[in-house]
Structure 1
Amino acid sequence: MKLTFYDSVSLFADLADEWDLLLAESSANRVFSSYVWQTTWWEAYQPGQIWALAARDDNGTLQGIAPWFLCGRDPQALKVSQIGCVDVTDYLEVIVRKGQEEAVFTAFAEYIAAHTELYNILELCNIPESSPMLAWLPDLMRARALSCVQEIQDVCPVILLPDAWEDYVNSLDKKNRHELRRKLRRAGLVTWYIVGPDHDIEAEMERFFTLMRSSSSLKAEFLEDPHHAAFFSAVTPKLLEQRWLQLAFLMIGGKPAATYLNFIIGERVMVYNSGHNPDLSNYSPGIVLLARLIEYAIEHSYRTFDFLRGDEAYKYDLGGRDTQVYSLTIRAGAQD
């Protein structure tokens, strides 16, 4: 493997045509590691300085990207993290072509061990339990006299979807099955839609933000940060163009009652953020819309309905089962 170290945004220009092609052939094939997400996040937050690695084979074919950065502006801190870490991104990985994991991770580990003057600590977040990062990096780091601590960071409840809606409903325990059916009956005849290319995405996003703000003070406070608002406004039309965005609204009596902003890539639906109208909360609009989206996912042969990070009760009421998300902390020095 031939490695290139990047310390500037030339990373994005150099790899623009190859990034998502590699992503599609890796285990990291999620929206959060896409070129659109990574570049838009970087432009919105400007959190430090690029500190990234790219690996090519002898034929010049891109085989791996470690899209990392130095946090902050303090030259003494030298803390490396992943682009996108932590708050608005749920999964992050080193992007490695399947079948090339050993060669790429070995090359990255050798570079990290040989250049300890370039960092004090690597704090890598939001790593899904299935990531080859967890299978390869800890042992490779320790073999090179670096400390590598692996810890559970959070949980991501997921539903493995069956082939039919009734099979899904029947998979719930008796109490939750009864509650779901009761809420769907109480809501009555409601309408809902998914935003498509014929919609005005700016207007639909403003409707989404309005419902998100009204649903909780924490969400309203989150959106007061101009970086967050700028990021979401910039990234959503790009994701819609890629057909990775699923923005859905439930209407009751002609009024927006609930919304979900999800991502779809491959056979996975990822439930990213939501909002609801508190004046219509007696209809349980959020649960009703989620149920319709689960039914839609089953009808369209998606296999996984992923609630992303967090252990909120409704995720388990709807059948979610925990998967783990990990962090890796790497530093030169004594073995852990």
Structure 2
Amino acid sequence: MAVLTTIFVVECADHIPSLSISSQGSAWQIEELMLITKSPAPDVPALARRLRRDGHHNAGIAPGSEASAQDADSDAVPPCSLNVTIYGPTAYPNGFSALASEWNDLLARSRYDTFFLTHEWQSVWWQQLGAGDLWILAFYRGESEEESEDPADPSHAAPGPSELVGIAPFYLSEHKKGKWAGKSSLKLVGCVEVSDFLDIVIAAGWEKEVYYCLLDWLQSEEAPAWDYLDLCNLPEDSLSYKALPSIFRNAGLRVEVDQEDVAPHVHLPARYENYLMQIDKKQRHEIRRKQRRVERELDVGFSLIQSMDELQAAMDEFLRLQRMSRPDKESFMTPHMERFFRVMAGRMLEAGHLHLSFLSLNGENAAALLAFEYKKELLLYNSGYDTEKWAGYSPGWVLLGYVIQHAIARGIEVFDFLQGDEEYKYRFGGHDYRVMRTLIINEPA
């Protein structure tokens, strides 16, 4: 029997009454309702809701084994066998705070460890761009502190280990217009704009177990009312478009899977000259020609921002050049988006991920490039260049060549151009990597 434990936090509670109620024939049992004394806190009474399940790890995917869409097709949908803690919109602390110390460790154990799923990125995106209600689910394997209610049971005093195996960060919002007008959606935090790769964070080998428990929650009264679940910006390697759809279809839900975009990337060799030999001969000649021309005719500088003292002025310059480069970039960089970029850049510099570089020509900044360095990868996020005075020298191309050269010198193994099929990405050797989307509609298939 599944057990639901709900914990509330109140200020200045004088006592801790508990209530135990069981409902004959019900699949749920309300185990206890506790009022816990706590120092004054923000006006957010609910701490967290924990769904505690009886059962064990299903043999469908053992830790470390491979999952596949074929596995999902052949299985009936089993009940959830993990412990699930739910951090809803009134949870205090919220899921980002409660899971901060474990988040990135779990990400490192996942099949697709990407920068945009780090705690730093996810939390700053939510703080600056998030709207609606935050729902974060944490999935645990093993025993929990409440697992044994019998004081005579040895595990009552010394609970077994509990390991975090999944985090599902969502937000709930209502659409005001378009085909989904009046409908409520659950989306991955970071969806859709400005986060190039997203997913549910799951330890490799535990995907199906987490998917089963997510489905169980979505179909329970604990979940908010939702019309569709949007898993956007899924990397090509994600099981959230390979295996998850079959599980949800087996439960009778309607599921749509589409390719959303491409994100070209190039594998970097140990030397810059070897990289140039990888790309098309004509483009190799163009890159060399443009670099040699500016080096011959102008005083060229390449600089990289490395301290917080430099960052504010550097972001002023980056934003100026970004807005200059194209009309669509100027319209994209609203005051709200500018604030996100400034706050995000500071957070990423502190975390050691920010790459903000400039090309100067005769002492003036002519191009800027903002990227993220993460585990032997460099991800090109945004850029800008002077379209007036220095446009004839192709400063954007020249800077990109220098950045790739610098990345190779630092031992970077993959240069990721991120989403979009712009021509320059292929001229610099990019090869397509698919970006997928899984849409689950809360209606019969």
TM superposition score category, shorter chain reference? over 0.9
Distance 1:86 1:332 in 2: 20
Cα pair 2:112 2:237 within 8 Å, conserved: no
Match of 1:200 in 2: 310
What is the rounded CA distance, in whole Å, between the counterparts of 1:117 and 1:24 in structure 2? Answer: 30
Q: Judge conservation of contact 2:138–2:168 (CA < 8 Å) in 1.
A: yes
The alpha-carbon deviation at position 251 of structure 1 amounts to: 0.7
Q: How far apart in 2 are the matches of 1:281 and 1:105?
A: 51
Provide, for residues 285-327 of structure 1, a one-character-per-residue CA deviation record: whole Å limited to 9, x for no partner: 1111111111112222211100000011100111101111011
Change beyond 3 A, Cα 1:202–1:104:
same
The question of whether the paired residues in 2 share the 8 Å contact of 1:270 and 1:306 is answered with yes
Structure 1 position 329 matched with structure 2 position 439: yes
How many aligned residue pairs are there?
334
Are the aligned partners of 1:28 and 1:92 in contact in 2 as well (CA < 8 Å)? no
Equivalent residues in 2 for 1:263-302 (5 A)?
263-278=372-387, 279-302=389-412
| Structure 1: stretches of 5+ with no match in the other structure | none
Give the superposition deviation at 1:35. 1.6
Show the counterpart of 2:188.
Answer: 82
Identity %: 35
Residues 1-336 of structure 1 correspond to what in structure 2 (within 5 A)? 1-8=82-89, 10-58=94-142, 59-72=161-174, 77-114=183-220, 118-188=225-295, 190-197=300-307, 199-223=309-333, 225-278=334-387, 279-335=389-445
CA distance in 2, matches of 1:128, 1:2: 27
Task: Show structure 2 runs of 5+ residues with no match.
Answer: 1-81, 143-160
Instruction: Tell me if the contact between 2:264 and 2:416 (Cα under 8 Å) persists in the aligned partners.
Output: yes
CA contact (8 A) 1:41 1:84 kept: yes
- When residues 16 and 193 of structure 1 are mapped into structure 2, their CA distance, relative to the original with a 3 A threshold, is same
Contact 2:175 2:185 in 1 (8 A): no
- Partner Cα separation in structure 2 for residue 299 and residue 117 of structure 1: 50
Alignment check: 8 A CA contact 2:371 2:382 kept: yes
Question: Structure 1 residue 183: deviation in Å?
Answer: 0.9
Q: Distance in 2 between matches of 1:215 and 1:149?
A: 37
Structure with more helix by fraction: 1
Q: Deviations over 1:134-188 (max 9, x none)?
A: 2321111112111221100001010011222111111111211111111111111
- Point out the more displaced range, 9-18 or 260-269: 9-18
TM-score, normalised via structure 2 length: 0.72
Give the aligned partner of residue 31 of structure 2. Answer: none
2:194 alignment partner, SS class:
coil
Q: Report Cα offsets for 1:166-217 as digits up to 9, x if no partner.
A: 1111111121111111111111152101110264211111111111111122
In the superposition, the TM-score normalised over structure 1's length comes to 0.94
Equivalent residue letter for 2:123: T
Aligned-partner Cα distance in 1 for 2:232–2:414: 22
Range with bigger deviation, 75-84 or 124-133: 75-84
Structure-2 change in CA distance of 1:41 and 1:103 (3 Å):
same
The answer to which of 73-82 and 20-29 deviates more is: 73-82
Q: Aligned partners of 1:160, 1:36: CA distance in 2, in Å?
A: 26
Give the counterpart letter for 1:17 in structure 2.
S
Q: How far apart, in 2, do the equivalents of 1:310 and 1:73 lie?
A: 26
Q: Give 1:31 shift.
A: 2.4
C-alpha displacement at 1:106, in angstroms? 2.6
Deviations 1:100-159 (A, max 9, x none): 223222322332344576311111111110123223211111121112211000010100
Question: Which stretches of structure 1, 4 residues or longer, exceed 6 Å deviation after superposition?
Answer: none
2-side partners of 1:170 and 1:77: how far apart?
A: 52
Quick one: which amino acid aligns to residue 252 of structure 1? L
Secondary structure of residue in 2 paired with 1:286: helix
Q: Distance in 1 between matches of 2:220 and 2:308?
A: 52
Match of 2:19 in 1: none
Q: Secondary structure at the match of 2:111?
A: coil
The question of whether the paired residues in 1 share the 8 Å contact of 2:174 and 2:182 is answered with no
- The Cα RMSD (Å) is 1.9
- 1:73: how far off? 7.8
8 Å CA contact retained: 2:226, 2:442: no
Cα distance, 1:7 vs. partner? 1.9
Question: Could you say what secondary structure the match of 1:124 adopts?
Answer: strand
